[in-house]
Structures are given as C-alpha cells and as structure tokens.
Amino acid sequence: MSLTMNRRRAAAALLTAALLVPLSACGSDDKKDTGADTKSSGAATPEAKGAKLTILAASSLTNVFKTAKDAYEKANPGTVLTFSFAGSQELAAQVKQGAPADALVTADTKTMDGLKGETGAATVIAKNRLVIATGKGNPHKVGALKDLADTKLKVVLAAPEVPVGRYSKKILDAQKIVVKPVSQEPNVRAVLSKVELGEADAGLVYKTDAATATDKVEAVDIPDAQNAVASYPAATLKDSKNADAAAAFVAWLSSPEAQKILQDAGFQKP
C-alpha cells in the first residue's frame, strides 16, 4: 500500500512539473510582451493612441486655433482636439480648481508663471501687439492713443486682471493718458464685440483680433515705442491623463507648420 502511494505521489509530482514548465514559459512570454508593449506605448505617437485632448487657450487664439485643429487632426488621424477659450485669468482659475484638461496656452507669461506647480515647462509659441479698434470707417477719427482720453468717446477696455487689460494699462500709463472706460470686459473678444456692435466707439485689442473683424472694425496702429508685446506661452498640465499626446501637441505648436498658421493669422514669431 505504501509502495502504491509512493508511486502515485511520484506520478503526481511529475505531472505537476510537466504542467509548470509551459505555465512558466507562458509567464515569461507575457513579461516580454508587456515590456514590448510598454516600450511601444512610450514611443507611440498621439494618433496611435487615438488621444482626445482638451486644450485651454486664451480668447485671442479662438480663430487661429480652429485652423490649427484642422491641420493637426489631419496630420494625426485618431487624435481629437477640443479647445476651451476664455481670458487667461479664467483659464488659470480653472486649472487651480482641477478642471480636466491636457494643455494650456495663455496670452501672457505672468499668468503661466503663476501656475508652475500645475504645468510642465512653458514655451513661448507666438507674440502679439495692441491696436485701437474703432467702428468701421473710424467715424470719430481716432488716430492715436491720446485720442482715447476724449471724454466724448465711449472707450471700452479689458479688466486690469486680464492680460490684454494689463497691457492696455501699461501703455496708457507710460504715455500718462487717463482713460475712463464705459466698461471693463473679461477678455479681448468681449472688448472687440462691444466695438463691433457699436456699443463702444473704440477699444484696445490685439492686432490679430481686429484682423478677424475687418468688415466691422478699423484697426489703428500704435507705434512700437508706445506699444506692448504680448507673449503666448504653451505648456502641458501635470494632471493630464494624456501626457505624451499633450506634450506632442505643445511641441507641434513650435513646428514650421504651426508657426506658419500663427503668422498667417497675424501673430509674430516667438
């Protein structure tokens, strides 16, 4: 009986050993496959992942980023870009509140610098300047910054906490020009809209914004010596669930293709 039991145990041991060999080999292959997959995933392009990216962007980028979206998605099949446009200060508040997004582009470095704990390294992708927007045909004959001090003019500016509002205050203060705006708007597009609708006679906006409404407004240039340069930094957000794809898009913004799109829209080189 004892001999029979010993034989059964020996047979069971051999069977177990035989089963463990293929299982062990299979486990080894799984590890190799996983390693290969991980390596492939790390090197994968955004289109291979079918990434869906949400980009928070300054209002003044509304039109040009629609063009950029078409170009990027065409070059990266499967990638979908969704943009959320607002004043840079609003975007910063959204980031601090944990809004789900992958990258951020602001209209000034100050706002971006205030988010260093939430973003990756920032890269300036474009620059801009201010112009005076007036009604079509410039009916009030506004020709220079000093004309905005005329109390008969209804002038609208962006609020001082908004990048374009800060730039506006900076250039007006430098020329010692006192302007009493009829309203202070939350972003540059709101300023432009007031002038377009005839609710204001003039307003300070970015050159590129005025260029989007040439059928409704006139743009009065401001000399460089009296103007301000707006810088547009772009960065990934650390909480992004698509870090590699977000980094690829931010890097693309500095590519020749993206730079041509930006400069065709009137933005200056970074």
For residues 242 and 120, membership in a common domain is answered with: yes
Placement of tokens 């390693």 in the chain: 35
Segments of the chain assigned E as strands: 52-58, 80-86, 103-105, 123-135, 155-158, 183-185, 202-206, 217-221, 229-236
In this predicted structure, the answer to whether residue 19 has a pLDDT above a threshold of 80 is: no
Q: What is the pLDDT of residue 50?
A: 76
Rounded Cα–Cα distance for residues 132 and 189 (Å): 13
C-alpha dihedral sign at 43, 46, 48, 53: positive
Mean pLDDT of the region 88-103: 96
Q: Is 205 exposed, middle or buried (0-12, 13-18, 19+ CB in 10 A)?
A: buried
Q: How many percent of the chain have pLDDT more than 70?
A: 82
Number of domains in the chain: 2
Are 118 and 252 found together in one domain?
A: yes
Q: Are residues 175 and 90 in the same domain?
A: no
Check pLDDT > 70 for residue 2.
no
Instruction: Summarize pLDDT for 43-93 with one digit per residue, the tens.
Output: 345 443 579 999 999 999 999 999 999 999 999 999 999 999 999 999 999
CA angle 139, 151, 141 (to 5 degrees): 20
Asked whether residue 114 falls in the same domain as residue 158, the answer is: no
Mean pLDDT, all residues of the chain: 86
Indicate whether 90 and 104 sit together in one domain: yes
Q: Taking Cα atoms as reference points, which of 207, 262, 228, 234 lies closest to residue 124?
A: 234
- Does residue 19 sit within a domain? no
Find the CATH number of the domain harbouring 51: 3.40.190.10
Segments forming the whole domain that contains residue 173: 129-229
Residues 174 and 207 grouped into a single domain: yes
Query: In this structure, what are the phi and psi dihedrals at residue 172, rounded to the nearest 5 degrees?
Result: -70, -45
- The residues near 73 (Cβ < 8 Å, ≥ 6 apart) are 79, 80, 81
Q: Is residue 208 part of a domain?
A: yes
Residue 18 pLDDT > 70: no
154 domain residue, yes or no: yes
**Does pLDDT of 20 surpass 60?**
no
- Please tell me whether residues 157 and 197 are part of one structural domain: yes
Residue with tokens 């289109």: 47
Residues 156 and 197 in one domain: yes
Instruction: Examine the domain organization and report whether 122 and 135 are in the same domain.
Output: no
Q: Specify whether 75 is located in the same domain as 99.
A: yes
Structure token digits, residue 161: 């906490």
Q: How confident is the model at residue 217 (pLDDT cuts 50, 70, 90)?
A: very high
Quick one: pLDDT at residue 45? 52
Indicate whether 39 pLDDT > 80. Answer: no
What does the pLDDT average to over 240-268? 97
pTM listed for this prediction = 0.80
Residue 66 tokens read as 């629609």
- Mean of the pLDDT values across residues 29-50? 38
pLDDT of amino acid 99: 94
Share of the chain above pLDDT 90, in %: 81
Q: What value does the mean pLDDT take over residues 146-168?
A: 97
The answer to whether the beta carbons of residues 69 and 257 sit under 8 Å apart is no
**62-75 and 256-264 helices cross at what angle (nearest 10)?**
150
d(CA 179, CA 182): 9
State mean pLDDT over 199-228: 97
- Mean pLDDT confidence for 153-181: 97
**Is there a domain that residue 5 lies in?**
no
Same domain, 71 and 139: no
